[in-house]
Structure formats: C-alpha cells, structure tokens
C-alpha cells in the first residue's frame, strides 16, 4: 500500500481524495497496490467530510511520517506551498502538484532539488487541468524538436469570449455571468489579465525547450480590452477571438513567449473550443501539429491529472522520471518583437491613412472607424506603424 | 548506445530511420545515450539510400545479434510480421510497431509473450499515426474508469468526406482525388469499408477496457454508401458526416464497439477535423471528455510515434511497462444493438408514414423523399422500424 498526504483541502484537494475513493479498486489493480490518503493538511476542520478523521493541521506530522511516500500539494500560491514542497522533497518524498504559480516561478529550483534527492516532482495538473498534455509532450513527442506550443490555457476567459460571441453580451456582462457560475473569482484579475495563461505557457515552454522562461519575461495582455464591437466585426469576417499563450523557438534558436488575444480562423480546430474548455497545440519537427483538448479546470478533471501523477510517481519510486530544465539565462531569450505576425487594428483614422501605412491590409469594416488585418510583418514594425494611428483596438492574428 | 533494427523499409520504416538521423543528437540527450539503426530488414535493396549499407535480407541476422535490443516492425500485415515479432520477443528483444492489423488480431497473445520474456511490446503508432493517444489514455487517465472512446480514426475516409462537404464532389470523385494524392491505396477497400478504423477502435477498446475485442466481433460499415445528397441535406441542418469508430462500456459492464458513418453536430470539436487528420475522444469518469488531435498518418508523423516508443522501451529495459489485456470471452461482449442512438434516414415513403413509425423525428427534407433524424432509441428498435420503410440511406447520429 502507498500512503499519500493531500495538502490543501480546497476544490482540487478534495477532488483528489474523491478520485482515490471513487476509483480506488481500479487504481489498485492498475498500480499493483492500493493508494491510501493517510492525511489531509488544512487549517480548517471538515466535520462533515468522510475524510474528517484524517485532517491534520501540522505539516510536521506528514513530514515526519516515513510511511508517507507521496505528498500532493494543492495549496496554491508560492509561499506556504513553496516552503512545504521544498521540505517534503528534501525529506525524500515525491511531490505532485496542480500549482501553476509555484511551478512557473520555482519549478527549476524544485526540480533540481528533486533530482538531488532522487524523487519525482510532477505537475501535469498545472497546465490544462484534466487534459493530458505535459506528459504526452515530453514522452510521446520525445523524438521531436518542439518548434512551437500555443494554447487556449484559461477557461474563464474562454468562457467570457464564448459568451460575447454566442450571446452578444459585453465583456462586463459575460464576466458577471462567469462569476455567478463560479467560473471566475470575485477578483478575476489573474484570469482576465492573462497572468494565469502566462504561468501556463511558461511551464509549457520550460518543458518544451528545456530552458526556464520566467513569467516576468513574458509580455502578457488579457481580454479586458476586448470589446463586443471587435468580436462582432471579426466574427463576420470568419474569425474567432481567443486568448492564446504562445511559446516558440525563434530563428536564432532562442525562445520567446507572449500572451495576447488572437484572431483564430473559423477552420482552425481552436475555433470549436468553447466555454471553459482548453486546448493546447504542439508543433514538432517530425509530427507536425498535434492538439490536446479537454476540461481546463474543475474539481474531478484536475484531480484526474493529479491522481495520474501520483500513480506515475509510485511507479517510478526507484528510478525517478528525468524531468527538468536549465535555469534562466538572458542570452537564451528571444523577444516577441522579432516574431512575424499579422495584426488586427481598429482605428479612427480615414481609410487612406490606413492603406498608406499598412499597404495590402484586409479591410474588415470602414464606416467611420476602420478595422483591418495587416499583412505579416515583425511585431516591432507592426507596433511602430500602429503607434502613429488613432488606435481603438488591437489584437494578434494566428497564422 | 542502443542498437535497433527496422524491419520493413516502406514509408513508415524509412521515416523511423530518418527521425533517428534528423533528431539523433536531441534523442541522445533526452535518453542519456544515442540510438543507432544497425540493420534495416527488407527484401529490396536501396542503393540510393543513406542507409544502403545497413540493409539485410535475413531476419536471423537481427535475431542472432545480441547487440540489437529493440526491433521496430513496420512490415504490416499479420503473417511475416507476426512470425518475426513472436521470434523477436521470444529472443528477449523489445518490439515496437505501427502494425494495427497485427495488434488488433494478435496483440493479446504477443503482449502475453512479452510479459513472459520481460520485454516491451509497444504500438502507439498503430492508432492515430503521430497523435499521442494510447500512452496518454493509459498513463494520464490511469485514475479514471474509461467509459467511452470514439474517434475519426481513418484519414483517407475523412479526406473523402471533407472533399464531399467542401467541394461538393461525389464519393467516387473524392476517392479518385485521394488516390491521386497518395492518400488512398489503389485498392481502397480496407480504408473505405471501415476495416482500418475497425482495427483501431479494437486496439483502443482493448487498452481502455482491459479486455480483448477482436475485429470480427465489431459491426463495421464504411462510407461507400454515403451520397453527396445526404451530405448536403445534413450539412444544411448543421451536421457534418464523419466515419467514427466507437467503443463503450454498456450498462451491464460489458463492452461493445462498432464503426459507422455518423452525423456530428457543427459545435462538436470533431466537426473541425478535416482532411487526413484524426481525432480521438476519450471519456473518463473523473476527467470527462478529452480529445487528441493530429496527423493520423504520414511518414514522419507516424515515425515520430514509433520513435517515442523506442525511447520508452529503452527507458524501461529493466522494468517493462505493464501493458496487456485479457483474452476474448463472449460473455464480456455487449452488442451495439442495445445502444441508445438517434438515427438518420432518407426514405421514399410519404411523410405521414415516417411520422407514424418514428414519432418525434426531426424532418430535414421532405420533397419527394423524406430525410429525418429519429429520437434516441435502442439500435435494434431503430433498425426494426426502418426495415419496414423504403430505405435510401441511413447513418448514426453522435450524441
């Protein structure tokens, strides 16, 4: 029997305990031995929970119990979670987490510590919720040079954009709806301003390229500036608006990433990704493009990914999985400004000004304001040329 | 260094050799040691190939060389490939294959032999070409009870259907196009009549449910009966026609599968799967639905999956991966006839007859012939009721 501890009994932590109850027999059969949730660490009590008797409040109980081989960290944030994770790894325990903030900011260091202690630090649930993406990218595409990873990485913003498209409501109204359904927090900043997507694209880039890309080096723009007017203009022209995180290897072998709202063509598989679903596209030099799609959040889906990592850690107790990336170096980092992109702009200038400044553009609307998609050009040139216009809105174009 | 042999130097075999050349340095770094293609087994010579000097014609050379630890079988079929695979496994060599026919028909026996010899028999490339799906389903969804797997599993038929929808050409014209592009064989029967999809859904079912489901127990209908008329009628009503393989756990815990053309709603992620791309949806009791999408065939994509298996076999030389399923037993098998489905029919009968026989149907067309979608009912009842009508066309409806 494998004893595990779950730290943080919020939505995901409770889901993890539930999955090991619900599918315990099946898991025991597949793993060859049962998994038992011995402790749940939380500051709160849960008198009505079937796990009430296993709740502890002192991390040392877990740390000092040699029977606990695997610790699940579903606390979130990068403070207490960081401290406990370091101590658990240092004590020779495997750690599994759904904590994207911690992995994006401290993953490199924690993986190094895990390597020294010959234990696993796994975090499939940190990106894409229940969607298998990190493990397939690492293992199933292991014979590929990864050239690019991009995705719809945040369910809240995708729900809001879906509602704007389908119900024709404003950003503000769609956000309220998301909050009332529990899809958005009362303070929705991290989702809406793209920070959550930024952390996830950083983790994807770290793994895909083997080099740390810290969130503070990733230009991030969320969807609070996306208006219903722009959504409608581009929709009429066959485009969908999606918040994407993108990470790619630039010409010189450097790596760069950014987060921004994008126009996605109706024929692209992402256009069918609605509501709180996520999708991640990975481009490898042998396989081409493969996509992973599914529920990007939620109690049981996220717990499904955490539980799979627990099983994987258990199966690799002797021979740990070789996961890690080298620490951040400024010279490895490219800048998105070098990327060649098409841009979408809506401006107050007359059509002639637009056509003079961006020759060859596709004009989507021209009554009063002009909305247009530029030809492909380096992002820097795009921004320079746009700066001289009376800008109402701007977005990137995928492809 | 790990020495491997590639048996069968056709498209996929040549792709495997190419991938190990093209990405050799990267693979060596990830695996911790280089992989060397020591032999290529084929009846032909390849004087112009960079691998010409490694071509051998006698399987025994490979079998008797203890330096060859992993054998790649890209011969195809279930005769020579079956014989060589058995002998390679019996000799304690790991075997990796893209051969769906062999895995679907002899997988259970070969996996048992692999287990006895403590070696790996891996076949990610047998389903979905380059798409990571078997390993993610097994590993990343390991904490789930899999309830259903369904997919667009054959690129040739999906290309033909895409052309019928988008270019408005007939099945026959689209097939000719597929043949001239190299997407369809001169004898396209195995693709067009659904046998290829059948083998793949069998492998998915074997792995998902842990019980062998032989292809001969899976009712299979291809797309040669799909007419442009039906494609256009359903398209107008918001549906796409897709050839799907489906495998699911029925109410009594039994397993059943079938292959048939389906109507897929425009909002379903499958509707954006065009041309030779494949997509596989897996429904687990914790995660819900997750989808894997990508190139379902092709030289380098398929080789990417084979190469990943080679790396996985190499990484699990001491502790083999625990993959397998129990042998076929009639009592484990449900029948698709018990499934509840909606059906699409086009008939010569008058509207009143249709409405009397299938009350509550959605009428899609009623000038002369009547095209309609029935309410959900057991497949057996659906077929019984339809048998009394003057049937021109029938398809299943997904969802």
DSSP A260-325: EEEEEETTSGGGG--TTEEEEEEEETTTEEEEEEEE-S-HHHHHHHHHHHHHHHHHTSSS------
Q: CB distance A319–B322 less than 8 Å? A: no
Helix, strand, coil shares, percent, chain A, to 5 = 40, 25, 35
Q: CB distance A295–B292 less than 8 Å? A: no
For an interface test with B, the pick among A11, A143, A311 (most B C-beta atoms closer than 10 Å) comes out as: A143
Q: CB distance A140–B143 less than 8 Å? A: no
Q: Is A293 on the interface with B (CB under 8 A)?
A: yes
Q: CB distance B140–A139 less than 8 Å? A: no
The closest alpha carbon to A2, from A321, A318, A317, belongs to A317
For an interface test with B, the pick among A264, A290, A310 (most B C-beta atoms closer than 10 Å) comes out as: A290
Say what the pLDDT of residue B252 is. Answer: 80
A207 alpha carbon, distance to own chain's centre: 13
Average pLDDT over residues A304-333: 94
The closest alpha carbon to A325, from A108, A133, A148, belongs to A108
Average pLDDT over residues A83-110: 98
Question: Which of B26, B31, B286 minimises the CB distance to A301?
Answer: B286
Q: What is the DSSP secondary structure assignment for residue A176, as one 8-state letter? A: H
* pLDDT tens by residue, A28-38: 999 999 999 99
Distance (Å, whole) CA B58 – CA B345: 54
Question: Which of B30, B287, B292 minimises the CB distance to A142?
Answer: B30
* pLDDT tens by residue, A121-176: 999 999 999 999 999 999 999 999 999 999 999 999 999 999 999 999 999 999 99
A238 CB neighbours in chain B (<8 A) are none
Q: Over chain A, what is the mean pLDDT?
A: 96
Q: Which of A183-187, B8-12, B85-89 has the lowest mean pLDDT?
A: A183-187
Q: CB distance A142–B22 less than 8 Å? A: no
The closest alpha carbon to A96, from A8, A201, A196, A197, belongs to A8
Q: CB distance B140–A305 less than 8 Å? A: yes
Question: Which of B291, B294, B318 minimises the CB distance to A287?
Answer: B294
Distances (CA, A) of A268 to A105, A239, A279, A364, B269: 32, 9, 12, 19, 10
DSSP H or E segment with residue B356:
helix B351-357
Bridge partners, A295 (sequence order) = A277
The model's confidence at residue A367, banded by pLDDT at 50, 70 and 90, is confident
Q: CB distance A286–B131 less than 8 Å? A: no
Residue B16, Cβ density class (10 Å: 0-12 exposed, 13-18 middle, ≥19 buried): buried
- Decide: B108 and B327 in contact? Cβ < 8 Å: yes
Q: CB distance A292–B290 less than 8 Å? A: yes
| Backbone phi, psi, residue B64, to 5° | -90, 0
Question: Which residues 24-83 on chain A approach chain B with CB closer than 8 angstroms?
Answer: 26-27, 30-32
- For A306, the token pair is 């955490």
- For B148, the token pair is 């259903």
* pLDDT tens by residue, B276-317: 999 999 999 999 999 999 999 999 999 999 999 999 999 999
B285 CB neighbours in chain A (<8 A) are 22-23
The model's confidence at residue A252, banded by pLDDT at 50, 70 and 90, is confident
User: Is residue A299 predicted with pLDDT exceeding 90?
Assistant: yes
B298 CB neighbours in chain A (<8 A) are 288
* pLDDT tens by residue, B98-152: 999 999 999 999 999 999 999 999 999 999 999 999 999 999 999 999 999 999 9
B142 CB neighbours in chain A (<8 A) are 27, 30-31, 307-308, 311-312
* Catalytic-labelled residue, pool A38, A100, A106, A200: A200
Distances (CA, A) of B71 to A288, B10, B22, B315: 25, 15, 19, 15
Length of chain A, in residues? 399
Q: CB distance A139–B308 less than 8 Å? A: yes
The model's confidence at residue B253, banded by pLDDT at 50, 70 and 90, is confident
A284 CB neighbours in chain B (<8 A) are 304
Question: Which of A131, A144, A295 minimises the CB distance to B304?
Answer: A144
- Closest chain B residue by Cα to residue A288: B301
Q: CB distance A288–B311 less than 8 Å? A: no
Q: CB distance A288–B308 less than 8 Å? A: no
Q: Strands (DSSP E) along A29-83, which ranges?
A: 35-41, 55-56, 68-73
B30 CB neighbours in chain A (<8 A) are 142
Question: Which of B130, B140, B307 minimises the CB distance to A124?
Answer: B140
User: Is residue B251 predicted with pLDDT exceeding 80?
Assistant: no
Q: CB distance A143–B310 less than 8 Å? A: yes
Question: Which of B22, B290, B303 minimises the CB distance to A293?
Answer: B290
User: Is residue A319 predicted with pLDDT exceeding 90?
Assistant: no
What proportion of chain B, given as a percentage, has pLDDT over 70? 100
Q: Is B189 on the interface with A (CB under 8 A)?
A: no
Say what the pLDDT of residue A250 is. Answer: 87
Question: Which residues 253-272 on chain A approach chain B with CB closer than 8 angstroms?
Answer: 267-269, 271-272
DSSP H or E segment with residue A195:
helix A195-209
| Backbone phi, psi, residue B73, to 5° | -105, 105
Q: CB distance A142–B307 less than 8 Å? A: yes
A145 CB neighbours in chain B (<8 A) are 23, 26
pTM of this prediction exceeds 0.90: yes
Say what the pLDDT of residue B337 is. Answer: 85
B292 alpha carbon, distance to own chain's centre: 12
- Decide: B244 and B260 in contact? Cβ < 8 Å: yes
| Residues sharing a CB contact under 8 Å with residue A258, sequence separation 6 or more, in sequence order | A218, A219, A220, A221, A245, A246, A336
B22 CB neighbours in chain A (<8 A) are 285-286
B124 CB neighbours in chain A (<8 A) are 140
Say what the pLDDT of residue A142 is. Answer: 96
Q: Is A324 on the interface with B (CB under 8 A)?
A: no
Average pLDDT over residues A53-68: 98
A230 alpha carbon, distance to own chain's centre: 25
* pLDDT tens by residue, B310-363: 999 999 998 899 899 999 999 999 888 889 999 999 999 999 999 999 999 999
Distance (Å, whole) CA A306 – CA A7: 12
Instruction: Outline where A64-194 has alpha helix (H).
Output: 80-90, 100-116, 134-135, 155-167, 171-180, 189-192
A23 CB neighbours in chain B (<8 A) are 143-145, 285-286
Bridge partners, A248 (sequence order) = A148, A256
Question: Which of B20, B274, B286 minimises the CB distance to A23?
Answer: B286
Q: CB distance B301–A288 less than 8 Å? A: yes
* pLDDT tens by residue, B158-208: 999 999 999 999 999 999 999 999 898 899 999 999 999 999 999 999 999
Count of beta carbons in the 10 Å neighbourhood of residue B192: 23
Q: Is A142 on the interface with B (CB under 8 A)?
A: yes
Average pLDDT over residues B19-33: 96
* pLDDT tens by residue, A134-149: 999 999 999 999 999 9
User: Is residue B367 predicted with pLDDT exceeding 90?
Assistant: no
| Residues sharing a CB contact under 8 Å with residue B306, sequence separation 6 or more, in sequence order | B12, B15, B16, B19, B72, B74, B96, B97, B98, B124, B125
Question: Which of A19, A268, A269 minimises the CB distance to B286?
Answer: A19
* pLDDT tens by residue, B196-205: 999 999 999 9
Strand pairing class (A94-97; A121-122): parallel
Question: Between chain A and chain B, how many beta carbons pairs sit less than 8 Å apart?
Answer: 180
Helices (H) and strands (E) in chain A, counts: 14, 16
- For A192, the token pair is 């809406």
- Closest chain B residue by Cα to residue A15: B286
| Backbone phi, psi, residue B195, to 5° | -65, -35
- Decide: B354 and B370 in contact? Cβ < 8 Å: yes
Say what the pLDDT of residue A251 is. Answer: 77
Distances (CA, A) of A56 to A3, A8, A93, A98, A265: 15, 11, 18, 21, 51
User: Is residue A284 predicted with pLDDT exceeding 80?
Assistant: yes
Q: CB distance B287–A295 less than 8 Å? A: yes
């Amino acid at each position: 029997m494998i004893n595990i501890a779950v730290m943080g009994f919020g939505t995901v932590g409770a889901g993890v305990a539930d999955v090991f109850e619900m599918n315990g027999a099946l898991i025991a059969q597949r793993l060859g031995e049962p998994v038992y949730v011995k402790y749940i660490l939380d500051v709160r009590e849960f008198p009505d929970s079937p796990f009430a008797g296993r709740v502890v409040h002192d991390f040392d109980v877990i740390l000092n119990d040699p029977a606990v081989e695997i610790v699940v960290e579903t606390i979130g944030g990068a403070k207490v979670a960081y401290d406990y994770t370091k101590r658990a790894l240092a004590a020779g325990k495997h750690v599994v987490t759904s904590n994207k903030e911690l992995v994006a900011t401290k993953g490199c260091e924690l993986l190094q510590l895990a390597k020294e202690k010959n234990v696993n630090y796994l975090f499939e649930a940190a990106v894409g919720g229940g969607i298998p993406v990190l493990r397939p990218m690492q293992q199933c595409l292991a014979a590929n040079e990864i050239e690019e990873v991009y995705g719809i990485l945040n369910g809240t913003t995708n729900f809001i954009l879906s509602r704007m498209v389908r119900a024709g409501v404003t950003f503000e109204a769609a956000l309220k709806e998301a909050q009332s359904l529990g899809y958005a927090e009362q303070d929705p900043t991290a989702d809406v301003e793209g920070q959550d997507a930024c952390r996830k694209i950083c983790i994807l880039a770290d793994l895909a390229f083997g080099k740390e890309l810290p969130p503070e080096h990733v230009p991030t723009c969320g969807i609070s500036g996306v208006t219903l007017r722009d959504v409608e203009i581009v929709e009429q022209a066959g485009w969908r608006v999606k918040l994407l995180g993108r990470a790619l290897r630039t010409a010189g072998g450097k790596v760069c990433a950014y987060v921004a709202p994008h126009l996605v063509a109706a024929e692209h598989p992402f256009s069918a990704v609605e509501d709180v679903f996520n999708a991640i596209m990975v481009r490898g030099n042998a396989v081409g493009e493969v996509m992973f799609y599914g529920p990007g959040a939620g109690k049981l889906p996220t717990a499904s990914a955490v539980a799979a990592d627990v099983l994987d850690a258990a199966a690799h107790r002797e021979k740990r999985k070789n996961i890690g990336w080298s620490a951040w170096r400024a010279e490895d980092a490219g800048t998105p400004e070098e990327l060649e992109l098409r841009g979408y702009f809506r401006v107050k200038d007359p059509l002639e000004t637009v056509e003079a400044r961006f020759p060859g553009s596709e004009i989507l609307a021209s009554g009063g304001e002009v909305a247009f998609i530029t030809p492909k050009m380096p992002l820097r040139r795009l921004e320079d040329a746009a700066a001289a216009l009376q800008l109402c809105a701007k977005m990137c174009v995928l492809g």
